[in-house]
Amino acid sequence: MGTAVDTQNMENGRKVTVIFVLGGPGSGKGTQCANIVQNFGFTHLSAGDLLRAEIKSGSENGTMIQSMIKEGKIVPSEVTVKLLQLAMQESGNDKFLIDGFPRNEENRETFESVTGIEPEFVLFFDCPEEEMEKRLLTRNQGREDDNLETIKKRFKVYMESSLPVVAYYSLKDKVRKIDAAKQAEAVFEDVKAIFNSTTEEWEKVSSLRVGRFSRETTDAIGWHGRLCMVNVKGDTAKQGAIYSAEQDLWGDMKEGMLSGWRGPAAAMDEEMIYLVDESKGVVRKYNEETDGWVDVVESDRLRGAQQMAARGGRLCVVCKDGSEIVVVDVMASPPQMWVVEPPQGFNVAAVHVLPRMSRT
């Protein structure tokens, strides 16, 4: 049975996006949340603000919360989560920043069980304790807890309770860490990069007007933020084009790059292009300054190479109709080479994923 939040979401055909915003006191979460709201259309929810508003309302629930706080008791997670859930329903939005919550593992478990929602990711503002302490002592917000003794206690609670939540989501690859020690403007540049990279919309780029390219005949790799395409197969004359994401423009490939592009290619960390001339069994790398290809290593095992992937200083070349992988360590001097065979009955395929290219 769905909760109020996810049931409403299904009826409206919308996906509810929740981002937890965590960081120590004085890490600048509030400033950045305001920037995110203004630039990305999120609704900012603070668990602390919601509890204080409920107390101020004079409701029965608010009276109970006030009594617990006065008695030094911890407000039950379910009470806080239900306040967050109600605020989400009443907002009319489907994108939420939840600031300073969950404060501990019990908060996290309750939120996920009550709402049925996992965060899209956790925005973690990482800041040295000394810097946070300096900010808290110099800011003038009239807060009673901005004194050194209370600040130290808040740091201790944060370290013991909130960091395990960060660790939990780190294991799920859901933490986006921000260096919050920088100036607010620089911090927001990092924040923008994260939010721009999580958009789920496709943007049409300028049409490719040169060459005849298709999935069956084309090699495409990402290199220095550009997309390089060459039709290396088929009966048409070999043509190449390079797309600049920054300028949203297609241009002709340099003559030397195009003429020497014979066989499967891959870019190592988007910096250096390698290819295998499958007819000669030679690995070559591209020299942008001379617009030429330089031989790296030669082996009969590389003849007939079909696909290649590059990472960590090594090339993995698929040969012999997928029955053999030739690994070339191009960082070694001289380059080292060895063969890996797939499990019996299996063939292999190399996959290199084009990097995200953005004009933002």
How confident is the model at residue 74, as a pLDDT? 79
Q: Mean pLDDT, consecutive 10-residue segments, the chain of 360 residues? A: 42 76 91 93 92 92 88 86 94 92 92 94 92 84 64 85 90 92 93 80 61 64 87 68 83 92 88 92 95 96 90 89 88 92 66 40
For residues 199 and 255, give the distance between their C-alpha atoms in angstroms, rounded to a whole number. 37
The strand ranges marked E within 116-209 are 121-126, 175-179
Which tokens in the block code for residue 280?
A: 């000669």
β-strand pairing of 324-329 with 43-46 = unpaired
28 labeled part of a ligand binding site: yes
How confident is the model at residue 352, as a pLDDT? 46
135 labeled part of a ligand binding site: no
Q: Residue 88 belongs to what H/E stretch?
A: helix 77-91
How confident is the model at residue 232, as a pLDDT? 67
30 labeled part of a ligand binding site: yes
254 labeled part of a ligand binding site: no
For residues 53 and 97, give the distance between their C-alpha atoms in angstroms, rounded to a whole number. 18
DSSP state of 325: E
Q: Are 33 and 184 in contact (CB under 8 A)?
A: no
209 labeled part of a ligand binding site: no
356 labeled part of a ligand binding site: no
314 labeled part of a ligand binding site: no
**Residue 323: CB partners within 8 Å, gap ≥ 6?**
341, 342, 347, 348
How confident is the model at residue 226, as a pLDDT? 87
Rg (C-alpha) for the chain, rounded Å, is 28
73 labeled part of a ligand binding site: yes
Strand, helix or coil for residue 251: strand
Strand, helix or coil for residue 219: strand
143 labeled part of a ligand binding site: yes
Strand, helix or coil for residue 109: helix
Three-point CA angle 33, 34, 37, nearest 5° = 85
Strand, helix or coil for residue 290: coil
14 labeled part of a ligand binding site: no
102 labeled part of a ligand binding site: yes
- Of residues 296, 233, 246, 301, the one with CA closest to residue 268: 296
* DSSP-assigned beta bridge partners for residue 243: 227, 250
**N-to-C CA span, the chain:** 41
26 labeled part of a ligand binding site: yes
What structural domains and CATH numbers belong to the chain? 4-197 (3.40.50.300), 218-340 (2.120.10.80)
How confident is the model at residue 353, as a pLDDT? 42
